[in-house]
Structure 1
Amino acid sequence: MPLNGSTIGVLIQLDTRHFHASWSVESGRSLYEVQEILGHSDPKVTMHYAHLSTKTLLDASSCVSAKLR
């Protein structure tokens, strides 16, 4: 399927939503806050858009590990 102007526009909009959700969560915003900002009625949609980096996940894990020591 060839890409036309409207298809590219949709792809850019989806990329922007992914970046916004991921960067917001990585900056410490809650999934609930991002869900409300992006207007998602289902938190699963927000979780789909918010991809966490390996560093963010390791930092979260280290935080818990530090409490256990």
Structure 2
Amino acid sequence: MKRKIIGFNRDDESHWRAELECGHCQHVRHDPPLTTRAWVLTEEGRAARLGLELDCKRCDEEKDDNAQP
């Protein structure tokens, strides 16, 4: 389910997480060569991504759990 990024924070290991409008967080690591997100390393890069929509897997899972009888 698409959710907008409303902020960023770091987890216990200092990895960046996007705070989503639903209240969930999603990691947005820069971990080349697997994942290249150099924008997460700067305040300007993160600010430019505010409002961007990400798929929230936790919302999808909750929706699926609630749909089952």
Structure in which a larger fraction of residues adopt strand: 2
Structure in which a larger fraction of residues adopt helix: 1
Highest CA radius of gyration, 1 or 2?
1
Both structures adopt the same fold (TM-score exceeding 0.5): no
Instruction: Tell me which of the two structures has the higher relative contact order, counting C-alpha pairs closer than 8 angstroms and 6 or more residues apart.
Output: 2
